[in-house]
Chain A
Amino acid sequence: MNLTRAAPWPAGTAPFADPGETELLELSLGPQHPSTHGVFRMNALLDGETVVRLQPVFGYLHRNHEQLAERMSYLASMPFTDRLDYFCSLTNNWAYALTVEKLAGLEVPERAEYLRVILAELTRLQNHTVFLGFLLGDMGAWGSVLMYGFRQRDAVLDLFEALTGSRMMCDYLRFGGCRCDLPPGWAAAARLVVDSYPGFLDEMEQLLTENEILRARTMGIGGVEAKRLVNAGVSGPLLRAAGLSHDLRKVDRYGIYDRFSFRIPLGEKGDVYDRLMIRLLEMRESLNILDSALRDLPEGPVINPQAKLRNFRPPAGEAYGRIESPKGELGFYLISDQSPQPYRYRVRPPSLINLTLLEEMCVGAKIADVMVILGSIDIVLGEVDR
């Protein structure tokens, strides 16, 4: 007996075809709205509380990132990549550095590769940590989980600050390595943070997976056929929640990811609950990677001595570099004409491309579900609009 399931009306079959009977309500959610995660707007057509049509509108945070980058040196774009997905500046740095290194044929020293892996996995941890909080906030849990997440994330951000000088806008990676070496005591502090994480995850898992309201709100919501996800180019935890094993850390084995043993958690239904659980499980795998990376961290230089800081001119050519950012496949496409500026600079933002199926996920759901579904996609408007 299924008592709560609302009967969704597929578009066109609803009994409101006769405009004399009932009227649809067009509701513009955003761009100024508490839970659109920034200046995002959705034009929703509602039948009562049920979504009939939903049109995402974005571009309110457009900052001309790509055009700007084509007018400044390769290095000067690095701090701007911090501001794409401002929760994950270090993975953005890595994607950009990886592309430029491909373009210029730069080798990266061993220690720098390890540092990159450590920082990327820490970034994944803190991104997924706040994701849980924001998702619960979208369900109206009044920020308690968000604050617990923030407390845990602060420990990671403290590490970032001690290493890079900034908590969020790290600007740490350089072409051919990293900007500076670890300060004394950093690895030990990182070890403490990594060791404190499983306890936090246990608490969260218990709190979130057993909560009846949360289960009722997330299960069976926002699921889309896996085939559609592939067709739309969706990547990251969304794709894996639908049961497709696609993780660039395994597919491309960029950097030194082939040295670590980790698993890819896979969901089945692809609904909001699966997305949430996949992220929780992914954090545990990240902890495994961090554990061995911190153990094996070799000594040595952190930057390739051949890398030029000033007047950097890669040889003419083109390159596409991609990494598995916490939100999905983050790619940079660059064309060089041997000048200090890139001829073409293009970002493939996971947030934007994961957002393309929003309407399909939302139609037939309630208006309150729209926020939860949007939250489960985990977008950052800095990356969507660029």
Chain B
Amino acid sequence: MRKLKQLPGVGLLKGMLVTGRNFFGSYRNPRRLVTVSYPEQRLLLPESSRNFPFLVYDGNDSVEGLRCVACKTCERECPSGAIRIVQARDENGRPAKHPERFEIGIDACMGCQICAEVCPFDAIKMDSDYEHAATGRTRPMVHNKLRLAKSNTYYHRIKPREAAEVDARLEMERFRKEEARRKREEAARMKKEAAAKAAAAKPEAPENS
């Protein structure tokens, strides 16, 4: 069995040297510091940083511009059941394609971003804001539609790369939809024209024959 080749106590002195080096090092090189003095100093968050979801709206109107169509996919998929959506009704009482109420309880939300992942309309995204202190345990913990709605510009500001991707995708989808609509209309027009032609041709036929 080999013996540890050192005098007793030397290991402790080496430990003292390490801590001493760290003591002076923390003054010489601030990058050594583990902590930051929070309100004055803040860490720069990476783009993918996520904390709490928000609703994206296009344009300037935070109510009309909401991308959300109240399909309730996120409400179904939310693991902690933090989302509550009430679909709006139009004047005829039929379901409309926007939410009447959209509420997220920040006390229940765990920031897992599944809602943002499953949303088919890119309407709900993850925010990197982390200062959500509230003064109550019930109502102030629930963020409503108005509070959740943030503009696409804001989205671009906090997550430029992701937002640009989303915009491109939406643009593409819009383009495809437009294209499909145009094609459909074209087809309808062609059909109508053909029908008109046929109709124009048909009555004459008996007479001609």
Interface residues of A (CB under 8 A from B): 72-73, 75-80, 82, 144, 147-148, 150-151, 154, 158, 161-166, 169, 171, 179-180, 183, 203, 206-207, 210-215, 309-310
Contact = CB atoms under 8 A, between A and B. Distances in A.
B116 to A, nearest CB: 10
B19 A144 contact: yes
A224 B15 CA distance: 30
Contacts of B161: 183
A183 B14 contact: no
A202 B19 CA distance: 15
Contacts of B73: 310
B11 interface: yes
13 contacts: A76-B114, A79-B114, A144-B19, A148-B22, A161-B45, A163-B48, A165-B113, A171-B112, A171-B113, A171-B114, A207-B14, A211-B14, A211-B15
Contacts of B110: 79, 169
Nearest to A165: B50
Interface of B: 4, 6, 8-12, 14-15, 18-19, 22, 32, 34, 45-50, 73, 77-79, 110-114, 117-118, 126, 161
A306 B161 CA distance: 26
A75 B77 contact: yes
A72 B78 CA distance: 9
A161 B78 CA distance: 22
Given A72-B79, A161-B48, A166-B50, A210 B34 contact: no
A210 B126 contact: no
A80 B78 CA distance: 12
A169 B112 CA distance: 8
B158 to A, nearest CB: 12
Given A79-B79, A212-B9, A207 B18 contact: yes
Given A169-B111, A211-B12, A212-B12, A310 B18 contact: no
B11 A179 contact: no
B46 A162 contact: yes
A221 to B, nearest CB: 18
A212 B117 contact: no
B77 A73 contact: yes
B45 to A, nearest CB: 8
B49 to A, nearest CB: 5
A165 B32 CA distance: 24
Nearest to A211: B11
A206 B14 contact: yes
Contacts of A164: 48
A183 B47 contact: yes
Contacts of B126: 165
A210 B46 contact: no
Contacts of B117: 179, 309
Contacts of A77: 79
A284 B7 CA distance: 28
Contacts of A203: 18
